[in-house]
C-alpha cells in the first residue's frame, strides 16, 4: 500500500492534459467534440428514426396490402417488435466484442449492418408476395436492422466515454443520446414532406402510390448512415488511450524484472526449445548468450520491444501483472464473471439493468402505442381520406416530439454536470410517475388541452430523467475493460422491457383498459427510483482509478497474509 498514493498521483498527472478545465461551461463543445458527437450520435438518430416511423409505415401498408383494413395483429406486433428483438442481440454481441476485440476493431461494423438491413428492407416485394409474407419479410430485416442499432449503444457509449474529458463526460453522452429526439422529429418531418409531395396523386385515387412513400421515408435514413460510415471506420484511438499506452510501456521498461508478460514469453520460448530435439553439433542459444544479447539491446530496441508487448493480445495474470496494464487490457468473459461475482460490483450492474428495464417498459409502452395519445388529441387519423389520415398521424407525431422529446434531452445536457446523474434519474422517475398517475386517474375526464399538457410534461421528465441517465450510467460507472459488455447487457435489459411492453400493451389495454396500463407504468417508475439508490453519483467518478486501487489493496492484503503465514512457520 505504501506506493499506491504515488502511483495514483502519477496516473492523475499523466492524464492532466485531458482533464484540465478550459474555463467554459461543460455544454460548450470544442470542434473535436462536435466531430465526435456527429460520428457517434448518428446511431441514436437512426435508432429513433427507424423505431418511430414504423407507426406511419404500418398505416401505409394497410392501404397498400390490405385495402385499408387493419394489419393482422400478430404480424403487426412482430414487425413493430422486430427492431427491438434485434437490438437485444446486437447489444450483447457488440458489447462483448468491444471489450474482447477492442473498440477500433469493431466500431463502424454496426453501421454497416444498419445500412445493409435498410437496403434489404427497401426491397420488400409488395407486388409479388402475399400481404402476410410481405410483413414477415419486412419484420425479418427489421430484426437485422435492430442488431446494428443495438450494437451502436455499447459501441458509441464506450468510444465516447473513453475519449471524453472527465468533467464533460456526462454532457457528451447526453448530447449523443439526445440525437434520439432529433431522429424522432426528423422521422415525422420527412413523412409530412413526402406525403405533401404525393398529395395530388393519392387524392386522385391512386392509393397504391403509398408504396413509394414508405420506401422513400425509410431510404432517407441511408443519407446520414453513409455520411458517417467512413469516419467511424477510420476513427483513430483517443489521445487518452495512446498516452496511457505510452506510460505503460515506460513503466514496464523501468521494472522489467517484474514484468509478467516478459516472463510468459520467456517461458514460451523455453518450452519451444525443450520440445525441439537439436541434431548433434547444432549450435544452441545458451542462457549466457541470451543475456548477452539482451544486454546489448539499444534503447530504441527496448522501446520497440515494449510497444510490441502492448500491441500483442497476451493474457495477463491479474494477480501479478502491473495494475495499469490490467485496467486497460482487453477483457475476457471469465474475467468479467470474476469481477461481477463481488456484490459491490454486481449491485452496480443490477442497478443499471433494472432501472433501464423498468424505464423502457413505461417509455416504449407509451411511445410505441402513440395511437392512444393521438386519439385523445384528435390526430389518430380515424377519419378522412387515406392521405388525410396519414397526414394527421404524422402531424400528431411531430407535435408529441416537439412538446417533450427534444426539450427534455437538452435539459439533461445543460444540467447533468451540475445536478448529477443520480438526482436527475430519481426526480425523472418520480415526476414521470406523477404525470402517469394523473393521466391514469383522469384519463376519461381530462380536457384535450389538459391531456396534451400532462403528456408533454410526461415526455419531458422521461427525457430530463431516466431515459437519458440510464444510457449514461453504464458508460461512466464501469471500468474501461468491462464497460462495453456491461453497457450492452444493461441496454439489452432495457430492450427486453420495450419488447414486453410492445407485445403486451395492446392485449392488456383491451382486457383491463388503458388507465390500468398507465398505473402499471406508474409502478415501474416508482421501482425505478428505488433501484437507482443502488448506484453511486458518477460526476467526476473515475472507475479505472477505483479498479486500480482495488487491485492494489487485494495485492497488499495477499502479501500481508503470505508474510504472516511465513512468520508463523
Cell of 329: 487490457
Cell of 129: 408476395
Cα separation, 259 vs 253, whole angstroms: 8
Cα separation, 558 vs 551, whole angstroms: 11
Q: Which of 396, 395, 398, 469 is nearest to 432 (CA)?
A: 469
DSSP-based three-state secondary structure for 7: helix
Q: Which pLDDT value is given to residue 330?
A: 57
Supply the DSSP string of 112-162, one letter for each residue: HHHHHHHHHHHT--TTTS-HHHHHHHHHHHHHHHHHHHHHHHHHHHHHHHH
Look up the CATH number of domain 28-238+339-548.
1.20.1250.20
Q: Which pLDDT value is given to residue 148?
A: 92
Cα separation, 460 vs 404, whole angstroms: 4
Kindly tell me the burial class for residue 131, based on how many C-beta atoms sit within 10 Å of its own C-beta (0-12, 13-18, 19 or more).
middle
Q: Which pLDDT value is given to residue 514?
A: 83
DSSP-based three-state secondary structure for 26: coil
Q: What does the angle CA 73 – CA 78 – CA 79 come to, to the nearest 5 degrees?
A: 100
Cα separation, 252 vs 272, whole angstroms: 25
Write out pLDDT tens, residues 273-284: 655 544 444 444
Tens of pLDDT along the chain (569 residues)?
444 444 444 444 344 444 455 667 777 778 888 888 888 888 889 888 887 788 788 888 888 888 878 888 788 878 877 888 899 999 999 998 888 887 888 888 999 999 999 999 999 988 888 989 999 999 999 999 999 999 999 998 888 888 877 888 989 999 999 998 888 889 889 999 999 998 888 887 777 788 888 999 999 999 999 998 988 888 876 555 454 444 444 444 444 434 444 454 555 555 556 555 444 444 444 444 444 444 444 444 444 444 334 333 444 554 555 555 555 555 567 888 989 999 999 999 999 999 999 999 999 888 766 666 666 666 666 667 788 888 887 887 787 777 777 888 999 999 999 999 999 999 999 999 999 999 999 888 888 888 888 888 998 999 999 999 999 999 999 988 889 899 999 999 999 998 888 778 777 877 888 889 899 999 999 999 999 999 999 988 888 888 888 888 888 888 888 888 877 76
Q: Which pLDDT value is given to residue 566?
A: 79
CB neighbours of residue 285 within 10 Å? 10
Cα separation, 233 vs 326, whole angstroms: 27
Q: Which pLDDT value is given to residue 400?
A: 75
Cell 458489447, located at residue: 95
pTM passes above 0.85: no
Q: Which of 132, 161, 140, 152 is nearest to 49 (CA)?
A: 152
Q: Which pLDDT value is given to residue 290?
A: 43
Q: Which pLDDT value is given to residue 568?
A: 79
Q: Residue ranges of the domains in the chain?
A: 28-238+339-548
Per the CB < 8 A criterion, the answer to whether 331 and 488 are in contact is no
CB neighbour list of residue 7: distance below 8 Å, 6 or more residues apart = 323, 548, 552
Amino acid at each position: 500500500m505504501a506506493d499506491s498514493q504515488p502511483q495514483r498521483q502519477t496516473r492523475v498527472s499523466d492524464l492532466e492534459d485531458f482533464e484540465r478545465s478550459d474555463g467554459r461551461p461543460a455544454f460548450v463543445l470544442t470542434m473535436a467534440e462536435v466531430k465526435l458527437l456527429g460520428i457517434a450520435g448518428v446511431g441514436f438518430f437512426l435508432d429513433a428514426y427507424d423505431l418511430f416511423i414504423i407507426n406511419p409505415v404500418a398505416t401505409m401498408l394497410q392501404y397498400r396490402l390490405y385495402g385499408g383494413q387493419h394489419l393482422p395483429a400478430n404480424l403487426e406486433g412482430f414487425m413493430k417488435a422486430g427492431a427491438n428483438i434485434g437490438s437485444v442481440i446486437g447489444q450483447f454481441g457488440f458489447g462483448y466484442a468491444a471489450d474482447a476485440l477492442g473498440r477500433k476493431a469493431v466500431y463502424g461494423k454496426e453501421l454497416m449492418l444498419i445500412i445493409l438491413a435498410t437496403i434489404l428492407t427497401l426491397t420488400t416485394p409488395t407486388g409479388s408476395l402475399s400481404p402476410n409474407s410481405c410483413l414477415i419479410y419486412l419484420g425479418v430485416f427489421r430484426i437485422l436492422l435492430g442488431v446494428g442499432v443495438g450494437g451502436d449503444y455499447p459501441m458509441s457509449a464506450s468510444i465516447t466515454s473513453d475519449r471524453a474529458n472527465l468533467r464533460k463526460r456526462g454532457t457528451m453522452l447526453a448530447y449523443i443520446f439526445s440525437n434520439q429526439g432529433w431522429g424522432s422529429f426528423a422521422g415525422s418531418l420527412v413523412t409530412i414532406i413526402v406525403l405533401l409531395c404525393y398529395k395530388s396523386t393519392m387524392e386522385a385515387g391512386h392509393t397504391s402510390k403509398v408504396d413509394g412513400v414508405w420506401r422513400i421515408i425509410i431510404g432517407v435514413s441511408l443519407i446520414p448512415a453513409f455520411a458517417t460510415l467512413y469516419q467511424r471506420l477510420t476513427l483513430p484511438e483517443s489521445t487518452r488511450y495512446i498516452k496511457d499506452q505510452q506510460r505503460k510501456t515506460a513503466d514496464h521498461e523501468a521494472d522489467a524484472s517484474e514484468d509478467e508478460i516478459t516472463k510468459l514469453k520467456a517461458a514460451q520460448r523455453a518450452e519451444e526449445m525443450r520440445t525441439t530435439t537439436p541434431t548433434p553439433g547444432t549450435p544452441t542459444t545458451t542462457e549466457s548468450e541470451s543475456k548477452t544479447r539482451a544486454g546489448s539491446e539499444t534503447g530504441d530496441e527496448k522501446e520497440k520491444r515494449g510497444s510490441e508487448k502492448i500491441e500483442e493480445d497476451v493474457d495477463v495474470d491479474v494477480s501479478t501483472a502491473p495494475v495499469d496494464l490490467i485496467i486497460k487490457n482487453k477483457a475476457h468473459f471469465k474475467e468479467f464473471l470474476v469481477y461481477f461475482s463481488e456484490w459491490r460490483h454486481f449491485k452496480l450492474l443490477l442497478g443499471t439493468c433494472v432501472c433501464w428495464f423498468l424505464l423502457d417498459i413505461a417509455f416504449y409502452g407509451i411511445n410505441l402505442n402513440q395511437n392512444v395519445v393521438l386519439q385523445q388529441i384528435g390526430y389518430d387519423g380515424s377519419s378522412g381520406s387515406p392521405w388525410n389520415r396519414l397526414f394527421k398521424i404524422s402531424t400528431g407525431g411531430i407535435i408529441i416530439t416537439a412538446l417533450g422529446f427534444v426539450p427534455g434531452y437538452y435539459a439533461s445536457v445543460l444540467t447533468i454536470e451540475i445536478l448529477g446523474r443520480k438526482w436527475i434519474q430519481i426526480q425523472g422517475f418520480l415526476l414521470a410517475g406523477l404525470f402517469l398517475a394523473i393521466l391514469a386517474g383522469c384519463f376519461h375526464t381530462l380536457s384535450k388541452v389538459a391531456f396534451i399538457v400532462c403528456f408533454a410534461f410526461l415526455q419531458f421528465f422521461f427525457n430530463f430523467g431516466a431515459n437519458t441517465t440510464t444510457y449514461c450510467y453504464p458508460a461512466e460507472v464501469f471500468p474501461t475493460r468491462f464497460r462495453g459488455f456491461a453497457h450492452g447487457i444493461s441496454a439489452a435489459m432495457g430492450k427486453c422491457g420495450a419488447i414486453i411492453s410492445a407485445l403486451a400493451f395492446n392485449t392488456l389495454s383491451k382486457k383491463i383498459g388503458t388507465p390500468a396500463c398507465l398505473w402499471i407504468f406508474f409502478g415501474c417508475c416508482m421501482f425505478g427510483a428505488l433501484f437507482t439508490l443502488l448506484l453511486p453519483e458518477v460526476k467526476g467518478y473515475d472507475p479505472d482509478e477505483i479498479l486500480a486501487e482495488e487491485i492494489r489493496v487485494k495485492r497488499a492484503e495477499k502479501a500481508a497474509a503470505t508474510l504472516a503465514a511465513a512468520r508463523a512457520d
